[in-house]
Amino acid sequence: MKTIKIKDRNDKVIFTHTCDNNTTNITLEKALSERADLTGANLRCADLEAADLTGANLTGANLTGADLRGADLTGADLTGANLTGANLTNGDLEDVILIGACLRCADLEAADLTGANLTGANLTNGDLRGSNLRFADLYGADLTGSNLRDADLRDADLTDANLTYADLRDADLRGAITNKPLKKDTEDKIVTKVINSFRERSEQGINKYGTTLQRDDLSPLEWMQHLQEELMDATLYIEVLKSKLIKLEIKEAEDKVSEVCD
């Protein structure tokens, strides 16, 4: 038998469940079946893959870094919830309420957000590639730097939404409501290139190491050591480039002298 306690942000126990082979997923679903009050629940980095959270009241919950891949959040209320860095890939979020929620850097690739209420939500640098946002309410949402490539935004309300540096390539914007001109590309192509490079490097890192930067197995000192090593490498690369530029300048000077002599 295993006991799991769900606490709120103030470390107060709000639900307890004991059973064989217990998991956070099982405990949460049990809490929902008993209509427990999960307002402000602390579910940071929780493993909730494929969880059935239909109609759940998780207002103000902390789901930072949570694994919600394939989870069913249909009609759930996540008003003011913190989903920073959460993985919601292929999730069913139809009619979900995310008013004022923080989804910064969240992965919502291929998620179904049909009719979702994302009024005032923070979706900066979020991955929404191929997501279904048809009829979604994105009034005043912050989508700065978000990846909306191939997203379905038909009939979505984008009034006052911030789409600075958002990638809207191949997005379907038919019928979308907006009071600002929508651009299929970003205003600054250099910034776009850098953002895409970061995304590609992130994917390479995940494929190579099997984890993201949200990992918690390294101490601050170990992170500092990694940073120092990267900076040392950068210094060496700069020295190589300086040497090459010096050689290039010498050659150009010699060529000019040669032209004068001729």
pLDDT, tens digit (0-9, with 9 covering 90-100), for 16-25: 888 988 988 8
Mean pLDDT to the nearest integer, 51-80: 94
Say what the pLDDT of residue 186 is.
47
d(CA 99, CA 95) in angstroms, rounded, equals 12
Condensed to tens digits (0 to 9), the pLDDT of residues 204-258 reads 777 777 777 777 788 889 889 988 998 998 899 998 888 888 888 887 777 766 6
This prediction's pTM = 0.70
Contact 141, 117 (CB under 8 A): no
Q: How many CA atoms lie within 13 A of 218 on its CB side?
A: 13
Mean pLDDT to the nearest integer, 27-49: 87
d(CA 26, CA 188) in angstroms, rounded, equals 47
Say what the pLDDT of residue 259 is.
61
Q: Tokens 């979505």 sit at which residue?
A: 156
Helix (H, G, I), strand (E, B) or coil at 248: helix
Say what the pLDDT of residue 184 is.
56
Architecture of domain 39-217 in CATH?
3 Solenoid (2.160)
Phi, then psi, of 131 in degrees rounded to 5: -80, 155
Residue 190: pLDDT above 90?
A: no
Say what the pLDDT of residue 66 is.
92
Say what the pLDDT of residue 174 is.
92
What percent of the chain is modeled with pLDDT above 90? 51
d(CA 38, CA 52) in angstroms, rounded, equals 15
How much is the CA Rg of the chain, to the nearest whole Å?
A: 24
Average pLDDT, the chain: 88
Say what the pLDDT of residue 213 is.
78
Q: Tokens 């958002």 sit at which residue?
A: 166
Say what the pLDDT of residue 261 is.
59
Say what the pLDDT of residue 260 is.
57
Contact 32, 14 (CB under 8 A): no
Instruction: Look at residues 68, 31, 26 and name the one whose alpha carbon lies nearest to residue 46.
Output: 68
Condensed to tens digits (0 to 9), the pLDDT of residues 103-157 reads 999 999 999 999 999 999 999 999 999 999 999 999 999 999 999 999 999 999 9
